[in-house]
Amino acid sequence: MKSSLRNFVLFQISWFACAIGIGNDIPALSYLVVGSVIVIHLYLSNYRQRDALYLLMVGILGTLVDSALGWFGILSFSNQWFCPPWLTGLWMALASTMHYSLSWLNRRLLLSSIFGAIGGPASYYAGMKFGALQLGSNTLYCLFILAFIWSLIVPFMVQLAFPWNPVSRAR
């Protein structure tokens, strides 16, 4: 329980550091904090190799997803063509929660889908309010697209995190 709470708090710190740092044009804060959170996570992990590989896979997945969302005008990152590194780091910080503070999503396909459909768009919307990114011109449409995508991404991340546990029906 203690490590799950620490994991949750570290992720929240990284999210706020990215939102505040990028939103206030202090990118070094974002990079320093999210990088530190990832290093701390790996240092404290009993499964460093597994966690490092998983964080890397989710970081690549997130970079591709957010870059595609940028190319289609759903997201905008201060005139950048590709997903910025701070957002890749944030995806990796999110991945650090799957085996720990979000492990309760394992074997719960429906619940993880609902969690993603709500949490994903809410995170982007809050990031927009902090000034870290922009949503396309029709915010509601963009949020619906994000909800759909995240309703698929979170269950995929759960399956990727727990490949030896086939997903059963949500309880």
- Cα R_g (the chain), whole angstroms: 15
Percentage of the chain modeled with pLDDT above 90: 78
In a domain, 124, yes or no: yes
pLDDT band at 119 (very low <50, low <70, confident <90, very high): very high
Q: In this structure, is residue 26 part of a structural domain?
A: yes
The domain tally of the chain equals: 1
> pLDDT for 42-86, tens place per residue?
999 888 999 999 999 999 999 999 999 999 999 998 767 789 999
Residue 81 has a pLDDT of: 78
In a domain, 168, yes or no: no
- Would you say residue 138 lies in a domain? yes
Judge whether 110 lies within some domain.
Answer: yes
Mean pLDDT of 103-126: 95
Higher pLDDT, 164 or 57: 57
Token representation of residue 28? 């070094």
Residue showing tokens 């997945």: 61
Asked if the structure places residue 91 within a domain, the reply is: yes
Residue-level pLDDT at 168: 38
Residue 170, in any domain of the structure? no
Q: Would 166 be classed as within a structural domain?
A: no
CA 12 to chain CA centroid, nearest Å? 11
Cβ atoms of residues 92 and 38 within 8 Å = yes
- The average confidence (pLDDT) of the chain is 91
Range of the domain at 49: 2-161
How many other CB atoms are found less than 10 A from the CB of residue 29? 17
